[in-house]
Chain A
């Protein structure tokens, strides 16, 4: 077996993990599985593409690759803008759809069905605006560098992996060490009591949308940088995202990231062991196994 599967799995897993954090936060606070979350990944990637292209048009120098990487300064700048835009998109979707359903005391099944509708709409809009033709942030070729032990990775891949680790630590610290993090955990546990102690639950909900969508955007930019940008890129990640969120334990940020890495590694090794056509089935198998054996996941608490 080729040890490179380990690196491939870690890289895919870091993207899955970042997306799964948004899924797990949304689920634990809003109490529904948001099937539109994958679209925030796609929209984030396309927002960054649009802004990066515009910046490149305004100043060609911004497209010149930075050091060993395949992209210029236009991409990090556009990624920051895209995070804000994706967060804004999530707030708009919440204001137009989920927020109204919450106000009408919509049941979980109504919220889930609404999220399917939102996903279809957002994906169709992307195809309408950008077409379904794959796009790239950069067409510069990169040589994978040897890391020892038979592992190789491109500078873009190593940067993505490092960024994922930094973001997970940052989100974990946000949740455990800050006032807004404590408020998010409180709302996740008991919304009514949160109101009683003075927490503005609506503000917390908005924060969760922005945070989850922002992380989804970063995952989208990473996927766009390392693979390609397509309207279906988020949809294709949806099952692994949910598998990771549930395996990690709903509400657990480190759990989501760790589980994302597990799912990514399982996918990569499955490609080597049983063939690439089984890759998509791996997340499904993990999801079913977790639900049967340990429904609360690795770090979750039983209901």
Chain B
């Protein structure tokens, strides 16, 4: 599915909430058009901060981010979506006090007026669970339905790049597989996806490529199909959480 054109890139990206305490420390990454890349790493590796910095939610102290050939390093978060970069945060990714339809209308607001109703209808066709109860308060949805609404909301603007921060967090394994299957379908329509995940197995199953962040630095990358068996991954990723060996008497 992926081509050779770079959809999103970062160069020497340094980011964090405090200038003197960077969490992301010089990450270079190229994501090709149509690719599904999963960002892995142990807890505290800076995965979420990395994608939030790309989305404009965490200050970038140095380095650049680009969408295709367009430098978006200093573009404010609310304008990035107009350039085709959509972001789904890990938590609080829907407006719970508003209806499903209002959530979609909000996102559709940046589309030309004549396009809004058609696009929302397309999204309802894609997510029939949401179409069944458009006036339901979004806060009443289940975890999986909330993720679907968040993804639908992000897709309204037909983004070229979709970034998701741990969409499986708090979901049951069955729902996780449904969400990931849907993400794969979306990716197959040509949308480039960057996925931050803790659920390594499920993420590698749908990804084209995986990159591993450790302590804010990109330490390893490779095809998703083979990365699971790569011993370096165990060292970098799983090793960080490996229990000390116990001595059997």
Q: Which of A's residues lie within 8 Å of B, judged by CB?
A: 179, 182-183, 185-186, 189-190, 192-201, 301
B95, A185: Cβ atoms under 8 Å? yes
Q: Among the listed A192, A195, A198, A201, which residue makes an inter-chain contact with B110, where contact means beta carbons less than 8 Å apart?
A: A198
Given contacts A192-B89, A198-B78, contact A182 B106 (CB under 8 A): yes
**Cβ 8 A contact of A198, one of B89, B95, B97, B107:** B107
Scan B47-63; emit 1 where CB is below 8 A from any A CB, else 0: 00000000111000000
**A190 CA / B93 CA spacing, docked (Å):** 9
Q: How many A-B residue pairs have CB under 8 A?
A: 63
Among B57, B96, B98, B153, the residue within 8 A (CB) of A195 is: B57
Which one, B95, B109, B110, contacts A193 given CB within 8 A?
Answer: B95
A-B contact pairs, 16 of them (CB 8 A): A182-B102, A182-B105, A182-B109, A185-B98, A185-B102, A186-B95, A186-B106, A189-B97, A190-B92, A190-B95, A193-B92, A197-B106, A198-B110, A199-B109, A200-B78, A301-B97
Other contacts beyond A183-B106, A186-B95, A192-B57: 11, CB < 8 A = A182-B102, A189-B96, A190-B95, A193-B92, A195-B77, A195-B78, A197-B78, A198-B79, A198-B107, A198-B109, A198-B157
A195 touches B109 (CB 8 A): no
Chain B residues near A (Cβ < 8 Å):
55-57, 76-79, 81-82, 87, 89, 92-98, 102, 105-107, 109-110, 153, 157
Which B residues touch A196, using CB under 8 A? 55, 57, 77-78, 81, 87, 89
- Complex Cα distance, B87 from A202, in Å, reads 20
- A interface SS class: helix
Residue from A190, A193, A196, A199 whose CB has the most chain B CB atoms within 10 Å = A196
- Which residue on B lies nearest to A190, using beta carbons? B92
Q: Which of chain A's residues have a CB closer than 8 A to the CB of B98?
A: 182, 185-186, 189
Complex Cα gap A195–B87 (Å): 10
Asked if B93 contacts A198 (CB within 8 A), the reply is: no
Q: Establish whether residues A185 and B97, one from each chain, have CB atoms under 8 Å apart when the complex forms.
A: yes
A128 CA to B82 CA, complexed, in Å: 49
Cα distance A198–B158 in the bound complex, in angstroms: 13
Bound-complex Cα distance A200 to B56 (A): 13
Complex Cα distance, B89 from A71, in Å, reads: 56
